[in-house]
Amino acid sequence: MARIKPLDPADAPEPLRKLLEAMPPLNIIRTVALAQSQAVPFLKFGTSVLTEQILSAKLRELAILRVARLSEAEYEWVQHVPIAIDAGATQEQVDALAADDMDASCWDEQERAVLAYTTDVVHNVGAGDETHRGVAAFLSDREIIELVIAVGFYMLVARVMECSRIDLDPPVGASIVRQSAAAAALDD
Protein backbone atom coordinates (compact mmCIF):
# COMPACT_ATOMS: atom_id res chain seq x y z
CA MET A 1 0.00 0.00 0.00
CA ALA A 2 1.26 3.43 -0.93
CA ARG A 3 2.75 5.64 1.78
CA ILE A 4 1.65 8.74 -0.10
CA LYS A 5 -1.73 9.04 -1.81
CA PRO A 6 -1.43 10.21 -5.44
CA LEU A 7 -3.06 13.52 -6.38
CA ASP A 8 -6.59 13.35 -7.74
CA PRO A 9 -6.60 15.44 -10.95
CA ALA A 10 -9.82 17.11 -9.76
CA ASP A 11 -7.82 18.60 -6.88
CA ALA A 12 -5.03 19.93 -9.09
CA PRO A 13 -4.74 23.57 -10.17
CA GLU A 14 -4.65 24.58 -13.84
CA PRO A 15 -2.59 23.84 -15.98
CA LEU A 16 -1.60 20.74 -14.02
CA ARG A 17 -5.16 19.42 -14.03
CA LYS A 18 -5.37 19.63 -17.83
CA LEU A 19 -2.07 17.83 -18.18
CA LEU A 20 -3.09 15.08 -15.74
CA GLU A 21 -6.41 14.57 -17.49
CA ALA A 22 -4.62 14.16 -20.83
CA MET A 23 -2.20 11.54 -19.49
CA PRO A 24 -2.86 7.95 -18.46
CA PRO A 25 -4.04 7.81 -14.82
CA LEU A 26 -0.82 6.21 -13.60
CA ASN A 27 0.14 6.39 -9.96
CA ILE A 28 3.64 7.64 -10.80
CA ILE A 29 2.27 10.60 -12.73
CA ARG A 30 -0.28 11.44 -10.04
CA THR A 31 2.32 11.02 -7.26
CA VAL A 32 4.79 13.36 -8.96
CA ALA A 33 1.89 15.80 -9.39
CA LEU A 34 1.88 16.32 -5.62
CA ALA A 35 5.03 18.42 -6.11
CA GLN A 36 2.90 20.92 -8.00
CA SER A 37 5.57 23.45 -8.88
CA GLN A 38 7.86 20.72 -10.25
CA ALA A 39 5.22 18.39 -11.75
CA VAL A 40 4.75 20.01 -15.16
CA PRO A 41 8.50 20.48 -15.82
CA PHE A 42 9.19 16.96 -14.52
CA LEU A 43 6.56 15.38 -16.77
CA LYS A 44 7.69 17.40 -19.78
CA PHE A 45 11.31 16.46 -19.12
CA GLY A 46 10.41 12.78 -18.79
CA THR A 47 8.47 12.98 -22.04
CA SER A 48 11.47 14.54 -23.78
CA VAL A 49 13.65 11.65 -22.57
CA LEU A 50 11.17 9.19 -24.08
CA THR A 51 10.46 11.03 -27.32
CA GLU A 52 13.20 13.48 -28.30
CA GLN A 53 16.51 11.73 -27.80
CA ILE A 54 18.51 10.47 -30.77
CA LEU A 55 19.75 7.61 -28.58
CA SER A 56 18.11 4.42 -29.83
CA ALA A 57 14.82 3.71 -28.02
CA LYS A 58 15.93 0.11 -27.54
CA LEU A 59 19.19 1.13 -25.88
CA ARG A 60 17.36 3.71 -23.74
CA GLU A 61 14.85 1.10 -22.59
CA LEU A 62 17.53 -1.48 -21.83
CA ALA A 63 19.26 1.16 -19.71
CA ILE A 64 15.97 2.03 -17.95
CA LEU A 65 15.34 -1.64 -17.18
CA ARG A 66 18.89 -1.93 -15.81
CA VAL A 67 18.23 1.09 -13.58
CA ALA A 68 14.95 -0.46 -12.43
CA ARG A 69 16.68 -3.75 -11.61
CA LEU A 70 19.59 -2.12 -9.79
CA SER A 71 17.19 0.17 -7.89
CA GLU A 72 14.77 -2.67 -7.11
CA ALA A 73 12.03 -0.47 -8.55
CA GLU A 74 9.29 -2.95 -9.43
CA TYR A 75 6.87 -0.32 -10.74
CA GLU A 76 9.49 1.02 -13.17
CA TRP A 77 10.28 -2.53 -14.29
CA VAL A 78 6.61 -3.46 -14.82
CA GLN A 79 5.91 -0.32 -16.85
CA HIS A 80 9.05 -0.43 -18.99
CA VAL A 81 9.24 -4.11 -19.97
CA PRO A 82 6.49 -3.72 -22.62
CA ILE A 83 8.00 -0.44 -23.80
CA ALA A 84 11.39 -2.16 -24.19
CA ILE A 85 9.82 -5.04 -26.13
CA ASP A 86 8.03 -2.54 -28.39
CA ALA A 87 11.36 -0.76 -28.94
CA GLY A 88 13.01 -3.99 -30.12
CA ALA A 89 14.31 -5.71 -27.00
CA THR A 90 13.76 -9.45 -26.91
CA GLN A 91 12.19 -11.50 -24.14
CA GLU A 92 15.58 -13.21 -23.78
CA GLN A 93 17.14 -9.80 -23.08
CA VAL A 94 14.44 -8.92 -20.55
CA ASP A 95 15.00 -12.28 -18.84
CA ALA A 96 18.78 -11.70 -18.81
CA LEU A 97 18.26 -8.29 -17.19
CA ALA A 98 15.91 -9.81 -14.62
CA ALA A 99 18.60 -12.36 -13.80
CA ASP A 100 21.39 -9.72 -13.75
CA ASP A 101 23.12 -11.67 -16.51
CA MET A 102 25.17 -9.08 -18.33
CA ASP A 103 27.28 -11.84 -19.90
CA ALA A 104 24.33 -13.54 -21.64
CA SER A 105 24.74 -14.38 -25.32
CA CYS A 106 21.70 -12.23 -26.20
CA TRP A 107 23.73 -9.01 -25.89
CA ASP A 108 25.68 -7.54 -28.77
CA GLU A 109 28.79 -5.49 -27.99
CA GLN A 110 26.96 -2.15 -28.15
CA GLU A 111 24.22 -3.31 -25.77
CA ARG A 112 26.81 -4.81 -23.43
CA ALA A 113 28.68 -1.46 -23.42
CA VAL A 114 25.48 0.51 -22.69
CA LEU A 115 24.55 -1.83 -19.84
CA ALA A 116 28.06 -1.67 -18.36
CA TYR A 117 27.95 2.13 -18.59
CA THR A 118 24.51 2.23 -16.96
CA THR A 119 25.68 -0.04 -14.15
CA ASP A 120 28.77 2.09 -13.56
CA VAL A 121 26.73 5.31 -13.44
CA VAL A 122 24.18 3.82 -11.02
CA HIS A 123 26.85 2.39 -8.71
CA ASN A 124 29.56 5.05 -8.97
CA VAL A 125 27.85 8.25 -10.16
CA GLY A 126 30.45 8.69 -12.90
CA ALA A 127 31.54 6.01 -15.34
CA GLY A 128 35.16 4.91 -15.24
CA ASP A 129 37.52 5.52 -18.14
CA GLU A 130 37.37 1.94 -19.46
CA THR A 131 33.58 1.89 -19.30
CA HIS A 132 33.44 5.25 -21.05
CA ARG A 133 35.76 4.07 -23.80
CA GLY A 134 33.56 1.01 -24.26
CA VAL A 135 30.40 3.01 -24.85
CA ALA A 136 32.21 5.73 -26.83
CA ALA A 137 33.14 3.09 -29.40
CA PHE A 138 29.46 2.91 -30.33
CA LEU A 139 27.74 6.15 -29.29
CA SER A 140 28.31 9.79 -30.21
CA ASP A 141 29.00 12.32 -27.47
CA ARG A 142 25.38 13.47 -27.73
CA GLU A 143 24.10 9.92 -27.32
CA ILE A 144 26.34 9.35 -24.30
CA ILE A 145 25.00 12.47 -22.60
CA GLU A 146 21.44 11.43 -23.49
CA LEU A 147 22.16 8.02 -21.94
CA VAL A 148 23.41 9.68 -18.75
CA ILE A 149 20.28 11.86 -18.68
CA ALA A 150 17.99 8.85 -19.18
CA VAL A 151 19.79 6.87 -16.47
CA GLY A 152 19.73 9.81 -14.07
CA PHE A 153 16.09 10.63 -14.73
CA TYR A 154 14.98 7.06 -14.18
CA MET A 155 17.09 6.82 -11.02
CA LEU A 156 15.07 9.81 -9.78
CA VAL A 157 11.80 8.19 -10.86
CA ALA A 158 12.77 4.96 -9.08
CA ARG A 159 13.43 6.91 -5.90
CA VAL A 160 10.07 8.67 -6.05
CA MET A 161 8.41 5.28 -6.57
CA GLU A 162 10.28 3.54 -3.79
CA CYS A 163 10.08 6.39 -1.24
CA SER A 164 6.32 6.71 -1.74
CA ARG A 165 5.87 2.92 -2.02
CA ILE A 166 3.73 3.57 -5.04
CA ASP A 167 1.00 1.05 -5.80
CA LEU A 168 1.55 -0.92 -9.00
CA ASP A 169 -0.51 -0.07 -12.06
CA PRO A 170 -1.02 -2.55 -14.88
CA PRO A 171 1.54 -1.84 -17.63
CA VAL A 172 0.30 0.56 -20.27
CA GLY A 173 3.04 -0.25 -22.79
CA ALA A 174 4.37 1.99 -25.51
CA SER A 175 1.13 4.00 -25.67
CA ILE A 176 2.45 5.98 -22.68
CA VAL A 177 5.14 7.45 -24.93
CA ARG A 178 2.59 8.75 -27.45
CA GLN A 179 0.10 9.92 -24.80
CA SER A 180 2.79 11.73 -22.82
CA ALA A 181 4.01 13.53 -25.94
CA ALA A 182 0.47 14.62 -26.81
CA ALA A 183 -0.23 15.76 -23.25
CA ALA A 184 3.03 17.70 -22.99
CA ALA A 185 2.15 19.53 -26.20
CA LEU A 186 -1.03 20.83 -24.53
CA ASP A 187 1.01 23.08 -22.27
CA ASP A 188 3.13 24.59 -25.06
Q: What is the pLDDT of residue 15?
A: 82
Q: What is the pLDDT of residue 174?
A: 79
3-state SS, the chain, equals CCCCCCCCHHHCCCCHHHHHHHCCCCHHHHHHCCCHHHHHHHHHHHHHHHHCCCCCHHHHHHHHHHHHHHHCCHHHHHHHHHHHHHCCCCHHHHHHHHCCCCCCCCCCHHHHHHHHHHHHHHHHCCCCHHHHHHHHCCCCHHHHHHHHHHHHHHHHHHHHHHHHCCCCCCCCCCHHHHHHHHHHHHCC
CATH assignment, 13-186: 1.20.1290.10
Q: What is the pLDDT of residue 186?
A: 60
Q: What is the pLDDT of residue 187?
A: 57
Q: What is the pLDDT of residue 188?
A: 55
Q: What is the pLDDT of residue 90?
A: 98
Q: What is the pLDDT of residue 175?
A: 77
Which residue numbers in the chain have pLDDT < 70? 183-188
Does the global pTM surpass 0.85? yes
Q: What is the pLDDT of residue 179?
A: 73
Q: What is the pLDDT of residue 19?
A: 86
